[in-house]
Amino acid sequence: MLSLILALIIAVAAFNIVSTLVMAVTTRNRISRFYVPRRKPAQYMKIFIVQGTFIGVFGTILGSPVECC
Q: What is the pLDDT of residue 52?
A: 80
Count of positions (residues) in the chain = 69
6-10 average pLDDT score: 88
- Which residue type occupies 20? T
Q: Quote the strand ranges of the chain, DSSP E.
A: none
Judge whether 44 and 28 are in contact, CB under 8 Å. yes
Q: What angle, 0 to 180 degrees and rounded to 10, lies between the N-to-C axes of helices 41-63 and 2-26?
A: 150
Q: What is the pTM of this model?
A: 0.45
What confidence score (pLDDT) does residue 23 get?
78
What does the pLDDT read at residue 20? Answer: 80
pLDDT tens track for 12-65: 988 888 888 777 777 665 555 556 667 777 777 787 788 888 888 888 888 777
Sequence-separated contacts (24+) of 30-39 with Cβ below 8 Å: none
